[in-house]
Amino acid sequence: MNAPHPPKVAGIDPTVPTPAHTVAPTPPAPDAAHAPDTALPVPSTPTPTGPGPGMLLQDRLAGWVSDLTTLHELTERLSATNALEPALQELLRAGSALVGARRGLVALEPGDGLGPRTTAGLGLGRADLGHLETVPRDALPHGTLLDAAGRGTGTHDGIAHPDLFAEDGLDPRHREVAARLGYAASYALPLSTRSAGHLGAAVWLYDEPAEPDERRRHLAGLYVRHASEHLARLLEVERTRARMATITEELLPSRLPRVAGVQLAARHRTSPRGGGDWYDALPLPDAALGLSVGSVTGSGPSAVAAMGRLRASLRAYAVMEGEDPVAVLSDLELLLRLTEPARSATALFAYCEPALRRVTLAGAGHSPPLLIGERRTEFAETSVSAPLGMLACWEAPSVEVQAEAGDTVLLYTDGLLHRTGDPMDRAFARLHAAAASIPRALRHDPEAVTDHVLRTVLPDGRDTADSPEDVVLLAARFD
């Protein structure tokens, strides 16, 4: 007879009881009606008074299998997370089930000092975390682990406080905060790996005096060890994304120029992989203004570097011959074909004369700009042209747009359309509808115009969600 499996821990039943032993059944007595008369009486078999060695081993194996199944399920759920915040929340939930606590927090403080530093709570609001921060760091169990790691004396063992209010020498502020938040015991574990070193610490809080038994501590230790490795990988990804975003932002204008007769605003959303979209606004001779947006193919560091080179080259060509946008893009196409023959790019350059409210532009495989006025919302009529680097010799005519006082010319990259997930015709219709729905009270402010278009075309936070596409909007409103 098989021993019953103990209940699992993974959110189903936080209790991990020791499996009950089974008792061997008594063999049935032979049927007296069918026994021969001359048969000798069968001696009765004594009923065992306790489990045999085989049953004990079977129960122990069943417990091990249950523990392994639980750890497998929990680590699978953790491995499915691909960002720090959900990974920290999953760590807290799984640890809470394993140690039998209801609340907890994790403090991420990488020992190399490169960040990011953050704190996440389970069952604790912002105000609760704020109260805990008022307790001296060395008086908190996870604070002790963090300080020990900072001094290079970190430990892999947990720190248990089974009854905080019964401890002598408990910090008065800690006693006050514990009473306010309603916890009476805690169990803390460090987060560290051999390769990445110290990452932080996690602590779980009990409502009543309690502490995890040896079995729970062992399971929690194994899980936290795996979680630390996963967090170390996510930290490296997060840092790489932050570096890529920083490099991209540094290659783009730190601020937009002030030019009489026109107001400018820009919005840029970088993809986590590091895309190659750019925008630029450059004062030119004769009180003119050059505007450009574009995108290079590919992603990652090489695409970002190519974007920086193209944008810098375009600025030089704009200063020399900006009044002829076709010539500017022709020079840029020649440079791209000679220096990076395996790469292509889309681009749009506009030569603006604010005093005349006149815009002369040329595009290379780029989406047409949108003209937003008091009585009209329409796409500028630009000729269909190939991206730069796609043909042996790029050619396209320029287009002249005459704006009125109060009109806004909106330039954008294809990432704005691609992030909608719609076919291109529907994406263009969505963009047009978003521009047409701008309230009149906001149309005088290009910052408000770009924000409205971005939120309307990409609702529900899709403008900031992870995506392989960059998003660029550049708005110029004529006085």
- Domain hosting 116: range is 60-244
Instruction: Please indicate, yes or no, if residue 207 is contained in any of the structural domains.
Output: yes
Which of these three, 224, 244, 264, is where a domain ends?
244
pTM (2 decimals)?
Answer: 0.65
Last residue of a domain, one of 209, 244, 279: 244
The mean per-residue pLDDT over the stretch 440-451 comes to: 92
Supply 371's token pair: 């003209």
Residues 69 and 170 in one domain: yes
Total domain count, the chain: 2
Determine, yes or no, domain membership for 38. no
Do 165 and 65 belong to one domain? Answer: yes
59 vs 427: which has the higher pLDDT: 427
The reply to whether 54 falls in a domain is no
Residue 6 placed within a domain: no
pLDDT reported for residue 156: 62
pLDDT digits (tens, 9 = 90+) for 197-234: 999 999 999 999 999 999 999 999 999 999 999 999 99
Q: Say yes or no: 139 and 287 in one domain.
A: no
Residues 6+ apart with CB under 8 A from 454: 267, 416, 463, 471, 473
> Does 470 score more than 50 pLDDT?
yes
- 305 vs 173, higher pLDDT: 173
Considering only CA atoms, which of 97, 94, 92 is closest in space to residue 107? 92
pLDDT in tens, 349-397: 999 999 999 999 999 989 999 999 988 899 988 777 888 888 777 777 8
Q: Which two tokens stand for residue 218?
A: 């062992």
Same-domain check for residues 442 and 403: yes
Domain identity same for 159 and 142? yes
Q: Model confidence over 118-155: pLDDT tens digits?
A: 999 999 999 999 999 999 998 998 888 888 765 555 55
**Domain endpoint, select from 181, 215, 244:** 244
* Cα 133 from chain centre: 25
> 291 and 427 share a domain?
yes
Q: Which of 467, 176, 470 is nearest to 346 (CA)?
A: 470
Q: What is the pLDDT of residues 90-103, one digit of tens each?
A: 999 999 999 999 99
Q: Are residues 429 and 317 in the same domain?
A: yes
Residue 65 pLDDT > 50, yes or no?
yes
Q: How far, in Å, CA of 409 to CA of 411, rounded? A: 7
* 411 belongs to a structural domain: yes
Whether residue 14 is contained in a domain is answered as: no
Assess whether 177 and 96 both reside in one domain: yes
- State residue 252 phi and psi, 5-degree precision: -100, 165
In this structure, the answer to whether residues 235 and 257 fall within a common structural domain is no
CATH number of the domain encompassing residue 353: 3.60.40.10
DSSP 251-309: HS-SSPPPBTTEEEEEEEE--TT---EEEEEEEETTTEEEEEEEEESS-SHHHHHHHHH
Q: What is the pLDDT of residue 246?
A: 80
The CATH number covering residue 139 comes to: 3.30.450.40
In a domain, 178, yes or no: yes
More confident residue, 52 or 168: 168
**Residues 333 and 376 occupy one common structural domain:** yes
Residues 230, 276 within the same domain? no
Query: Is 229 part of a structural domain of the chain?
Result: yes
Query: Are 284 and 318 within one domain?
Result: yes
